[in-house]
Chains A and B, each alone.
Chain A
Amino acid sequence: MKIRLMLVIVMGLMGANCIAQEYEIGQKNKEFTVKELTVRVGDKMTFTNQDPFFHNIYSLSENQSFDLGSYPKGNQRSVVAEKPGTLKVECAIHPNMQMIIHVEE
């Protein structure tokens, strides 16, 4: 009985460690609300436009490039970290909007 209980706890802890995280990042006043972030492969980053004009999300980083397009206030776009490395994430419309995401295994 004890062994079975231990097994359930250990499996539960392993499961908790394996759950991919989701990170919320705002786009407010032409800045990202988070400037630097460390995530793991599989984690999801969701960007929410809080400004009354369009923003865009893209990265031309070597280890993962994407263009999530442009979207107005209140809308969101998400991307999943695919590979370890460093992502420079920017808004194409407003080039001063930049953030760094460190992706770990």
Chain B
Amino acid sequence: MCINNASAIIFLAVYVSGINLEVLASEPSEFADRSVWRSSVTAPELNPREAAIAELGKQLFFDPRLSIDNTMSCATCHQPDKGWSDGEATPLDRYGKRIERATPGLLNLQAHTVFMWDGRVDSLVDQVALPITSPREMNMDLDKLVVRLRSVPSYQSAFSGVYPDGVTARNVQHAIAEFEKTLVSGDSDFSDWVAGNEQAMNDQQKLGFELFTDPQKGNCVACHHPPGFTDNGFHNLGLVNVQQDNADLGRYNIRPVAVLKGAFRTPGLKDIELTAPYFHDGSADTLESVMDYYIEGGRHQSGVSPDFKPLDITQQEKQALVAFLKALTSRDAGR
């Protein structure tokens, strides 16, 4: 009773809920200040033990013995010269059938707090086990993998040198994760420009940056935030017809909240030039076709992210955005 009375008393104050208190459209983005992009993902400084673990992880990453029939390693799909992706729209599984989602690149994972296109794990160590044990991928039982690796003298010695408990499934996962954390983008035209070298980006690339951060134009920063060019968030870009039976609902399968139907993780954009095709379904072959997609405003409108709107940009501006994205490519990329 008291609470009802109290509710009545504060009703007017609460009633303002939902009223738009600020006009946003004309506000410049705080991300337009290039200094906010300065704090970037860098290679971790490793002590000798950590370096040994990362080296062990590298061996494991490239070792096909991590798959049930010794035919597939992590590097089968995550190839160094393709931004640690595979260049396929979506990869073939071990039975020659297409997997529904594209192989994500592995650069700058330190900027990520959720993994897989649907963010089903929030730990890189946990993530490592998923493709190893997936029946359609490496199809390896972790207990059998431990037995197999313990029979390899070089692994036995390498594991016991860095882990008190030697070869365990968790240590395999940890070592691979530590190796993956060393995969970071190097210096690029953009990072040089952010550091103060005015000549590092040309006028077209600078225009691209302006468009990228302009809420009225590219508005890419609605989702691609500094420093990793990702908000670690989930957005429906209209790629999926969420009304269709058996549609890939992405994040919604993990968190059944309406806005997440057909939503997938925002990828980082450093070295994005290397990881074509694009989107979770690999449906855009080039960065130009990604821009065309955004200009069109998506394939399906049902449940589309509120941050996603058709881009009102000219062909010249489209090319500037693409030029900017290519300015994010590391000079040592693929080496």
Contacts of B5 in A (CB 8 A): 15, 18-19
Best-surrounded residue of A19, A46, A95 (most CB of chain B within 10 A) = A95
Judged by DSSP, the binding face of B is loop
Q: How many residues of A contact B (CB 8 A)?
A: 35
Q: Is A93 an interface residue (CB 8 A)?
A: yes
Among A19, A48, A60, A75, which residue has its beta carbon within 8 angstroms of that of B2? A19
Contact B232 A95 (CB under 8 A): yes
Q: Is B7 an interface residue (CB 8 A)?
A: yes
Contacts of A30 in B (CB 8 A): 225, 231
Contact B17 A56 (CB under 8 A): no
Q: How many residues of B contact A (CB 8 A)?
A: 46
Chain A 12-36 interface mask (CB, 8 Å, partner B; 1/0): 0011011110100000001000000
Q: Which residue numbers of B lie inside 8 Å of A, CB to CB?
A: 1-3, 5-7, 9-10, 13-14, 16-24, 27, 29-30, 113-114, 119, 122, 215, 222-223, 225, 231-235, 251, 255-260, 263, 305-307
Please, could you name 23 A-B residue pairs with CB atoms under 8 Å apart, sorted by A?
A: A15-B2, A18-B1, A19-B3, A20-B7, A22-B13, A52-B27, A52-B215, A52-B222, A54-B305, A56-B257, A67-B258, A75-B21, A76-B21, A77-B17, A93-B234, A93-B305, A95-B114, A95-B119, A95-B122, A95-B232, A95-B233, A95-B255, A96-B114
Q: Which residue numbers of A lie inside 8 Å of B, CB to CB?
A: 14-15, 17-20, 22, 30, 41-42, 44, 46, 48, 52-54, 56, 58, 60, 67, 69-78, 92-96
